[in-house]
Amino acid sequence: MKWWSRRITLPSGTSVGANYRAACLAKSKSTFISKMGGVLEEADESGYWVELLVDSGKGDQQKAAPLLNEARELVAIAISSINTAKRNSGPKE
């Protein structure tokens, strides 16, 4: 991966982990849901940048496939976690 593609994907990719860590330390369900929303947004953005690199001819489709799969899986996990937390939160805090 070229330096400019790392520069594009690194911030959103590392932000997924930082937001997830913050969600794990959340002191309330609303904070957890909010932080997992950040995980969702950043995972989706990471996938977007990889897709953009491939579509522009700057990235290799075969090498990008596992990254795109991982981004999609993280998006699905975040959505499921948010929905479960909302379902289990009961009345508003």
What number of residues does the chain have? Answer: 93
Instruction: Note the pLDDT tens digit of each residue in 56-78.
Output: 998 889 988 999 999 999 999 99
From the centroid of its chain, how far is CA 52?
Answer: 16
pTM score, whole prediction: 0.83
Between CA 59 and CA 23 the distance in angstroms is 32
Instruction: Note the pLDDT tens digit of each residue in 8-45.
Output: 666 667 889 999 999 999 999 999 999 999 999 999 99
Domain at 29-88: CATH code: 1.20.1440.60
Q: Who's near 33: CB < 8 A, 6+ residues apart? A: 82, 85, 86, 89
Domain assignments of the chain as residue spans, ordered by start: 29-88
